Amino acid sequence: MSYKIIVDSCGELPEECKKSGFYENIPLTIDIDGYEVVDDETFDQADFLKRVAKSPNCPKSACPSPERYMQAFEGEAECVYVVTLSAALSGSYNSAELAKKMYQERHKDKNIHVFNSCSASIGQTLIALKAEACARAGKTFRETVEAVEEYIKGQNTYFVLESLETLRKNGRLSNLKAFVASALNIKPVMGATPEGTIIQLDQARGINRALKKMVEVITKEVKNPAEKVLAISHCNCKERGQMVKEELLKRLPVKDVILLNTNGISSLYANDGGIIVVV
């Protein structure tokens, strides 16, 4: 069956996916003190990070409208798979679900499924690649949905941030905790719950120690690494991402590795210097 994979712009797509014709990124938008940034191919990460650093306010993101998702559903593809960032973090999932309901009222034969990634960034990438692998293997729409939903349950997301400013500005971290962490150079090792909410797993003083701590946590938690793809996204710090990749590969015999720079929404939350790992 012919297929199409839609990923909201929090998920980074490798170049081969962009060129394949099977994928479409649906952009979110970000408002920085009245200046709108569209998270698409025009996104300028360097300019964006400068604007975020200068602003005393937390930038506001807006998810794609149901109408924008409905536009993406058009076409000859018999099966459409949508991957959104965690429903616990954004309205993108609900918007896509509403679009699906509205679209199928007029196109009852179109198979559409919206996956709540319960993750973000490179985690969405892995889910999209899993859907593509199932489709290429000749699985039916229902078989693909079941396989990908099961895959999501076994996925783990981890991240370490250079700066806690975005989490402080958007209320996910108290001013006092952010101040103390900054003053003492404490970097938390964060993760995601099965429901896609953010939790703290550990902490260390200094970014390098925190990254090493994250590597230790991942090494302990990942089961059956030979069956896993290791995915790493970095926000403007490729060398740091490469270091984390090399350290993990010393410990985990994974079947493949992806390393990408963050898109706009991911850059907003990871902030300059942040590292996200999904396996």
CATH number of 3-28+63-153: 3.40.50.10440
For residue 250, what are the contacts with CB-CB under 8 A and spacing of at least 6?
Answer: none
Is the pLDDT reported for residue 181 higher than 60?
no
Nearest-angstrom CA–CA distance, 183 and 20: 47
57-111 pLDDT per residue, tens? 889 999 999 999 999 999 999 999 999 999 998 999 999 999 999 999 999 999 9
pLDDT at 175 (0 to 100): 47
123-143 pLDDT per residue, tens? 999 999 999 999 999 999 999
Given the candidates 3.40.50.300, 3.40.630.30, 3.90.400.10, 3.30.1180.10, the CATH classification of the domain at 157-278 is 3.30.1180.10
CATH 3.30.1180.10 in the chain is located at 157-278
pLDDT confidence band for 158 (50 / 70 / 90): very high
219-255 pLDDT per residue, tens? 999 999 999 999 999 999 999 999 999 999 999 999 9
